[in-house]
């Protein structure tokens, strides 16, 4: 099964991100991420066997993460897959530390490979036709988090949908 670790936005922020996705979609086209799928990926694990996924569930359920606040203040794009995202201009030391700490456990256990770069972002659109990011409105949002989730990505003919397998301690 295809798994990743992510922060899920609290309801009010999810709604706000959904509105931004709507605005971006009107400008850029492409496929808008459904509100319920909006997230910040901390670690993409790829395909994991079911037995090993059970280990991850147990690990995540016992995990406590330091609470934090992430400030979102910019639009961004990954040109090739036409991804439009929102994120932060400045690096966020707390998020980088959290991501690093997760990979320090995951990598030795053989769960995927630590990426060379970590650009925290929330994908709002995929396969956008154009990326006229300069025409999109300014962003000033705060994301308070204190838990992370282990998510399964299930792909069918309608695209990918996400299922929570585990959540860390609050």
Instruction: Confirm or reject binding of residue 35 to ligand 2AM (CB under 6 A).
Output: no
CB 144 within 8 A of CB 67: yes
Q: Which of 65, 98, 123, 128 binds ligand 2AM (CB under 6 A)?
A: 123
CB 130 within 8 A of CB 25: no
Q: Which CB sits closer to ligand 2AM, 153 or 168?
A: 153
DSSP calls for 16-60: HHHHHHHHHHHHH-SEEPPGGG--EEEEEEEE--HHHHHHHHHHH
Q: Which CB sits closer to ligand 2AM, 83 or 95?
A: 83
Q: How far is the CB of 4 from ligand 2AM (least distance, A)?
A: 4
How many chain residues are in contact with ligand 2AM, going by CB under 6 A? 6
Instruction: Confirm or reject binding of residue 146 to ligand 2AM (CB under 6 A).
Output: no
CB 151 within 8 A of CB 162: yes
- Of how many residues is the chain composed? 170
- Look-up: residue for tokens 């991420």? 33
Q: How far is the CB of 154 from ligand 2AM (least distance, A)?
A: 11
CB 86 within 8 A of CB 122: yes
Site string for ligand 2AM, 57-96 (x = CB under 6 A): --------------------------x-------------
Q: How far is the CB of 164 from ligand 2AM (least distance, A)?
A: 13
Q: How far is the CB of 83 from ligand 2AM (least distance, A)?
A: 6
CB 104 within 8 A of CB 96: no
The residue ranges that bind ligand 2AM (CB under 6 A) are: 4, 41, 44, 83, 123, 153
């Amino acid at each position: 099964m295809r798994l990743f670790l992510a922060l899920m936005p609290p309801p009010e922020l999810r709604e706000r991100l959904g509105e931004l996705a709507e605005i971006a979609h009107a400008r850029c086209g492409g496929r808008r991420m459904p509100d319920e799928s909006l997230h910040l990926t901390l670690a993409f694990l790829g395909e994991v066997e079911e037995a090993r996924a059970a280990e991850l569930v147990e690990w995540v359920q016992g995990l406590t993460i330091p609470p934090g606040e992430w400030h979102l203040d910019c639009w961004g794009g990954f040109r090739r897959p036409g991804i439009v995202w929102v994120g932060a201009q400045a690096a966020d030391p707390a998020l980088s530390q959290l991501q690093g700490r997760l990979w320090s456990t995951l990598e030795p256990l053989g769960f995927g490979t630590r990426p060379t770069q970590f650009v925290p972002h929330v994908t709002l659109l995929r396969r956008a036709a154009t990326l006229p990011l300069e025409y999109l409105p300014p962003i000033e949002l705060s994301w308070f988090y204190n838990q992370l989730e282990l998510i399964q990505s299930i792909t069918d003919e309608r695209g990918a949908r996400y299922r929570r397998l585990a959540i860390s301690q609050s």
